[in-house]
């Protein structure tokens, strides 16, 4: 199909094909940007979890160094929160603060996905609208004396290109939208795992100290009870 035919079809569709082309361009731009960003976040979160697997306990200085390596990404925000509260908060407060950090990063992770969702819904409707406009032009040929009915069928075939274009954009958008949505789910799961791992390692010393104090208290109570029985 030559460029002249495409321009004529776009003109007969009332300019709808131009809108569909712009919608396709915007959708592909969002797809490329989100794939690149989510790939970076997933790789960074995987690296952070691999580093955590090598440590049973953490301190503020170690976390501060990690924050610089993961700066600018959601992982860095979560680690920075843990670094700020290391040794200053109990387990519940630390978990709540890290959960807040993850929730604050959520809009950044699924940003622009609404554009793909809109394109999937809007593109077929635009294609149908362009086809209807093209059908008007096709059937107006019959009102001119001397025009053959075959010219109507040719006009109808050209009008259907708008519907096909809208469906094509919708299918492309749907595939990438579902793929990106699944990638967002994986990234959020990685951040939740990172949050739990940080809480466990930052509060392990506190938990061990509490267990030691409880054990010492039980020993003292046992000694006092034994002395009391002997005195009796």
pTM here is 0.77
Predicted pLDDT of residue 30: 95
Task: Please write down the long-range contacts of 111-118, taking CB distance under 8 Å and 24 or more positions apart.
Answer: 111/34, 112/30, 112/33, 112/34, 113/30, 113/34, 113/177, 113/180, 113/181, 113/184, 115/26, 115/27, 115/30, 116/27, 116/30, 116/31, 116/173, 116/176, 116/177, 116/180, 117/177
Task: Give the tens place of pLDDT for each residue, 32-76.
Answer: 999 999 999 999 999 888 888 887 777 777 888 888 888 889 999
- Ranges of the chain with pLDDT below 50: 206-212, 214, 223-224
At residue 211, the pLDDT reads: 41
Number of folded domains that form the chain: 1
Domain that holds residue 182: 3-231
Instruction: In whole angstroms, give the CA distance from residue 102 to residue 146.
Output: 70
Residue 44's pLDDT is 92
pLDDT at 206: 47
- DSSP-assigned letter for residue 141: G
What does the alpha-carbon distance between residue 198 and residue 140 come to, in Å, rounded to a whole number? 71
């Amino acid at each position: 199909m030559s460029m002249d035919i495409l321009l004529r079809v776009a003109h007969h569709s009332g300019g709808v094909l131009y809108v569909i082309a712009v919608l396709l361009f915007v959708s592909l731009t969002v797809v490329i940007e989100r794939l690149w960003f989510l790939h970076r976040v997933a790789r960074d979160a995987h690296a952070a979890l691999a580093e955590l697997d090598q440590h049973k306990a953490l301190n503020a200085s170690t976390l501060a160094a990690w924050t610089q390596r993961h700066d600018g990404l959601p992982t860095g925000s979560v680690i920075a929160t843990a670094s700020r509260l290391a040794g200053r908060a109990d387990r519940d407060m630390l978990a709540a603060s890290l959960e807040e950090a993850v929730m604050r990063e959520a809009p950044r992770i699924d940003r622009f996905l609404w554009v793909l969702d809109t394109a999937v819904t809007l593109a077929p409707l635009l294609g149908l609208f362009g086809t209807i406009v093209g059908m008007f032009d096709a059937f107006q040929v019959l009102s001119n004396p001397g025009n053959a009915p075959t010219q109507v069928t040719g006009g109808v075939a050209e009008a259907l290109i708008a519907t096909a274009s809208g469906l094509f954009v919708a299918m492309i958008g749907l595939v990438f939208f579902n793929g990106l949505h699944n990638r967002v789910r994986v990234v959020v799961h990685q951040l939740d795992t990172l949050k739990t791992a940080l809480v466990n390692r930052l509060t392990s010393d506190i938990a061990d100290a509490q267990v030691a104090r409880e054990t010492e208290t039980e020993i003292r109570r046992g000694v006092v009870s034994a002395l009391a029985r002997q005195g009796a």
